[in-house]
């Protein structure tokens, strides 16, 4: 089984053409040129509907499941729409009310999402709200997630390229801040996105210290594949590969396939190790049969 553990919703305007115009400020950057070249090497899919295109890309990349991450209240509803269209492919993660200080409101929303609406995990974007990733206003959400035995994926590290500065404070997203969450919820399955880059050593140290901590390699797959190779090897030396999860986190559906290709190009990994990272580890965390 192959699983992309880190994918966001795509919209109609999110196309390769959109990348070249919207992200023109990165023209000349190595990561940007490499990403565009990788997309241009793919056979084009001339469909405007982002859901249909994503389904086709997933099939071409031989992905069996995609964890679909919501980043807002509105996207919580859109994620459900995607799942209705292809329930065998998409696994929905819920974004709890991160601005709320009302414990009852948070618990009510998260309980409904996980127990009634079929969401399979939580996606935490606190640094984008100007809050540290260990902000206690979401501890009630983690209580419910822990009870339901579902994972919580935290944004850690730097924001995606092009994120306006006013929307994200990188200093709030250090992996080490999650130590207080770990102390309060020792059995909660916690995933650190992007391996915490640029604090990769810190993230791996956290995964070493806490049995319930995991790392996804999303974004590194297209931003810096060489660093991804080194980071996986470093993690392998310390904690093995049972805690590493494949993720894409691209700007358009085509980047999912680019990221799969980039990961499969890590030539020092054996077949069973590749299978762990791109699916089997995620399968266990998500309680899939």
pLDDT at 99 over 90: no
Among positive and negative, which fits the CA dihedral 204, 208, 210, 216? positive
Question: What pLDDT does 161 receive?
Answer: 78
Identify which has the larger pLDDT, 210 or 21: 210
Least confident range of 14-28, 63-77, 260-274: 14-28
Classify burial at 101, counting beta carbons within 10 Å of its beta carbon; exposed 0-12, middle 13-18, buried 19 or more: exposed
Mean pLDDT, the chain, rounded, equals 94
pLDDT tens figures, 112-149 = 999 999 999 999 999 999 999 999 999 999 999 999 99
Based on its alpha-carbon atoms, the radius of gyration of the chain, rounded to whole angstroms, reads: 18
Sheet containing 90-93, strands listed edge to edge, beginning at the edge strand earlier in sequence? 3-8, 65-69, 90-93
Single out the residue of 279, 165, 221, 232 nearest to residue 38, CA to CA: 221
d(CA 34, CA 17) in angstroms, rounded, equals 15
d(CA 37, CA 233) in angstroms, rounded, equals 26
pLDDT at 101 over 90: no
- Residue 229 has φ and ψ, to the nearest 5°, of -60, -50
Q: Which helix (H) or strand (E) covers residue 5, if one does? A: strand 3-8
d(CA 22, CA 209) in angstroms, rounded, equals 41
User: Number of H helices and number of E strands within the chain?
Assistant: 13, 8
Single out the residue of 47, 55, 72 nearest to residue 129, CA to CA: 72
d(CA 118, CA 138) in angstroms, rounded, equals 20
Classify burial at 78, counting beta carbons within 10 Å of its beta carbon; exposed 0-12, middle 13-18, buried 19 or more: middle
Contacts of 109 (CB under 8 A, 6+ apart): 96, 97
pLDDT at 20 over 90: no
Q: Collapsing DSSP states into helix, strand and coil, what is residue 6?
A: strand
pLDDT tens figures, 191-246 = 999 999 999 999 999 999 999 999 999 999 999 999 999 999 999 999 999 999 99
pLDDT tens figures, 26-78 = 888 999 999 999 999 999 999 999 999 999 999 999 999 999 999 999 999 99
d(CA 142, CA 149) in angstroms, rounded, equals 10
Sheet containing 244-245, strands listed edge to edge, beginning at the edge strand earlier in sequence? 122-124, 152-154, 190-192, 213-216, 244-245
Confidence label for 88 from pLDDT (cuts 50, 70 and 90): very high
Task: Quickly list DSSP for 82-125.
Answer: HHHH-TTTEEEEB---TT---HHHHHHHHHIIIIIS----EEE-
Q: Where are the domains of the chain?
A: 3-285
pLDDT tens figures, 145-188 = 999 999 999 999 998 777 765 567 889 999 999 999 999 999 99
Question: What pLDDT does 165 receive?
Answer: 58
Q: What is the mean pLDDT of residues 75-103?
A: 95
Q: Are 256 and 248 in contact (CB under 8 A)?
A: yes
The architecture that CATH gives domain 3-285 is: Alpha-Beta Barrel (3.20)
Single out the residue of 248, 244, 250 nearest to residue 231, CA to CA: 244
pLDDT at 86 over 70: yes
Question: What pLDDT does 90 receive?
Answer: 98
Question: What pLDDT does 94 receive?
Answer: 98
């Amino acid at each position: 089984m192959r699983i992309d553990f880190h994918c966001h919703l795509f919209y109609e305007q999110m196309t390769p053409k959109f990348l070249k115009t919207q992200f023109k400020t990165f023209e000349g950057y190595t990561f940007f040129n490499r990403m565009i070249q990788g997309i241009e090497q793919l056979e084009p899919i001339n469909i405007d509907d982002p859901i249909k295109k994503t389904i086709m890309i997933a099939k071409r990349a031989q992905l069996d499941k995609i964890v679909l991450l919501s980043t807002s209240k509105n996207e919580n509803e859109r994620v459900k729409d995607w799942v209705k269209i292809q329930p065998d492919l998409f696994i929905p993660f819920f974004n709890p009310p991160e601005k709320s200080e009302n414990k009852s409101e948070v618990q009510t929303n998260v309980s409904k999402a996980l127990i009634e609406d079929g969401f399979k995990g939580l996606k935490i974007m606190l640094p984008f709200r100007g809050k540290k990733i260990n902000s206690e206003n979401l501890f009630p959400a983690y209580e419910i997630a822990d009870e339901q035995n579902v994972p919580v994926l935290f944004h850690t590290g730097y924001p995606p390229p092009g994120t306006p500065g006013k929307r994200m404070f990188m200093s709030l997203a250090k992996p080490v801040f999650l130590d207080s969450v770990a102390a309060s919820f020792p059995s909660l399955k916690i995933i650190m996105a992007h391996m915490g880059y640029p604090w990769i050593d810190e993230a791996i140290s956290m995964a070493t210290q806490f049995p319930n901590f995991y790392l996804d390699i999303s974004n590194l797959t297209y931003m810096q594949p060489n660093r991804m190779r080194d980071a996986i090897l470093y993690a392998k030396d310390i904690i093995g590969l049972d805690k590493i999860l494949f993720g894409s986190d691209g700007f358009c559906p085509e980047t999912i396939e680019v990221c799969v290709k980039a990961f499969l190009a890590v030539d020092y990994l054996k077949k069973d190790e590749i299978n762990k990272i791109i699916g089997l580890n995620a399968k266990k965390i998500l309680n899939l049969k």
